[in-house]
Structure 1
Amino acid sequence: MTPPMRAGVYWAPEVSDPLHVLGSAWLGRDAETGALVEQPPVPGIAEITGDPRGYGLHATLKPPFRLARPWDELCREVQALAAATRVFALPPLSVQNLKGFLALRETAPCPPLYALADSCVEALDGFRQPPTEAELERRRRAKLSERHEANLARWGYPYVFEDFQFHVTLTQRLDDAAREAVLPPLLAHFGAVPAMPRLVRELCVFTQAGPGAPFLIAERFPLKGA
């Protein structure tokens, strides 16, 4: 494929998982195929899901970066990382408020998940071009702590390692009234599916072709660790 402008390494539900279908419908786009999907009849849903629709249904492990090395080398390294990682159970997910965003988050600690995120950040860092000054400034608008600032300088992203927060973003940042309004139809749409038992069996590489382009799942690499 043509080398992407940016790549990220994410967790995403398997295509056979009902969460993939429901999440794609909620966001209005299937990151696996790139197809637009009809959203549920919720007032204002197109605007509420605008930003997460562009990124696709996912949880970030290695945040998006511009490539410093060839695309095929990145794929080989992610494949090797996946091959060395055991399949593990993901705790039940639930809809939670994360700093104003509604997102699916784990309901119990998951050390294998955190270890995988740490491995992705560290093992793949040599493929990352440093962030631009504009990107750094955008991150710093969040009033970073000293540790977050150190993470940003070293790893290009503030929220890594002990500051990692697994989340599958479902909305823009909303005020209290908007969250209260959208939460009932969101919960009704997903039902019991987020809490279903599921295994993490893949690492997904998402790519973005150019500025403002939607992210797509370019590769799914199976976990094969013994």
Structure 2
Amino acid sequence: MTGSAPRYAIYFAPSAESALWRFGSATLGYDAIGGGEKPFAVPPGCEALDWAGLTSEPRRYGFHATLKAPFELSNGRSEGALRAFARNYVAGRTPVTLAGLAVNALGHFIALTPAEPSEALQHFAFDVVQAFEPFRAPLSEADLARRLQSPLTPAHRAYLEAFGYPYVGDAFRFHMTLTGSLPQDLVSPVRTALAGAHAQAVPAGPLLLDRIAIFKQADRASRFTLLDSLPFG
């Protein structure tokens, strides 16, 4: 793989009409449905920060939770076949209900994570990884080298070799990224500010994982855009 081929990803992205989608997209300054810029909703107290810079990395991907990480298509597989398979996949599925989402720091970046653990979510996420695996081309040497720069456990290495991504199966952690890597002194105040903004913008309560989304990146210099949003059932 040259890196110039399109990449696809299987994500959870809430419906475009939801308060959660509006909050996430405005935080990142990017609407992956239309592929266009959005005015930033900078959380109160963060106006003096370089918000565009702090969110530049997740802005490339759009607001989402990763289920199957970005991949190029394997030989003999087409975009049309991927989309058709995804439509068939969602037809027989039922939603997964999460108790809610909370704003947390994951290392140096801020993300929405489940308020409570969910075994059903873990099973669902790994099922997606495995079901769509035939569409994934092997990692290029450059992509593999990039992944190996991170410290990986033997289990992570095994997942990377099997599925092209180390954080699947029991290593999966559902998260919807809101910032890039922050300086240590900003992690706590930005988390607090985003938690307040999230509470104001998104009604509290359970989150229904009732769809999957296919996102597409035309080439490595492009942002990901929404190709299909596919409700279950």
CA distance in 2, matches of 1:146, 1:118: 18
Once the 2 structures are TM-superposed, how far is the Cα of residue 194 of structure 1 from its aligned partner?
Answer: 6.7
> In structure 1, what is the equivalent of residue 160 of structure 2?
152
The answer to whether the Cα contact below 8 Å between 1:9 and 1:60 also exists between their aligned partners in 2 is yes
Post-superposition Cα deviations, 1:160-198, rounded to whole Å, max 9, x if no partner, equal 111111000111112320213323332232225274333
Question: The residue matched to 1:203 in structure 2 has which SS?
Answer: strand
CA distance in 2, matches of 1:153, 1:72: 26
Match of residue 70, structure 2, among 48, 51, 64 = 64
Match of residue 206, structure 1, among 203, 207, 215 = 215
Once the 2 structures are TM-superposed, how far is the Cα of residue 133 of structure 1 from its aligned partner?
Answer: 1.1
The answer to whether the Cα contact below 8 Å between 2:110 and 2:187 also exists between their aligned partners in 1 is yes
The answer to whether the Cα contact below 8 Å between 2:102 and 2:195 also exists between their aligned partners in 1 is no
CA distance in 1, matches of 2:52, 2:32: 16
> In structure 1, what is the equivalent of residue 184 of structure 2?
176
Question: The residue matched to 2:10 in structure 1 has which SS?
Answer: strand
CA distance in 2, matches of 1:112, 1:82: 16
Match of residue 53, structure 2, among 47, 52, 63 = 47
> Structure 2 counterpart of 1:64, which letter?
P
Post-superposition Cα deviations, 1:1-43, rounded to whole Å, max 9, x if no partner, equal xxx7000000011112101111111100011111211113432
Post-superposition Cα deviations, 1:37-72, rounded to whole Å, max 9, x if no partner, equal 111343211011000011000000011100111111
2:125 matched to 1:117?
yes
Q: TM-score, normalised by structure 2?
A: 0.90
CA distance in 2, matches of 1:173, 1:194: 27
2:22 matched to 1:13?
no
CA distance in 2, matches of 1:98, 1:79: 33
CA distance in 2, matches of 1:153, 1:37: 37
Question: The residue matched to 1:80 in structure 2 has which SS?
Answer: helix
Identify which range, 134-143 or 188-197, moves more after superposition.
188-197
- Correspondence list, 1:90-101, <5 A: 90-101=98-109
Backbone CA RMSD of aligned residues: 1.5
Match of residue 130, structure 1, among 112, 131, 138 = 138
2:143 matched to 1:142?
no
Match of residue 84, structure 1, among 76, 83, 92 = 92
Question: The residue matched to 2:179 in structure 1 has which SS?
Answer: coil
Q: TM-score, normalised by structure 1?
A: 0.93
The answer to whether the Cα contact below 8 Å between 1:94 and 1:194 also exists between their aligned partners in 2 is no
2:110 matched to 1:102?
yes
Q: 1:143 to 1:88 in 2, by over 3 A?
A: closer
Structure 1, unaligned runs of 5 or more: none
The answer to whether the Cα contact below 8 Å between 1:90 and 1:110 also exists between their aligned partners in 2 is yes
**Identity between Structure 1 and Structure 2 (%):** 35
The answer to whether the Cα contact below 8 Å between 2:57 and 2:179 also exists between their aligned partners in 1 is yes
CA distance in 1, matches of 2:31, 2:203: 17
CA distance in 2, matches of 1:103, 1:22: 12
2:198 matched to 1:190?
yes
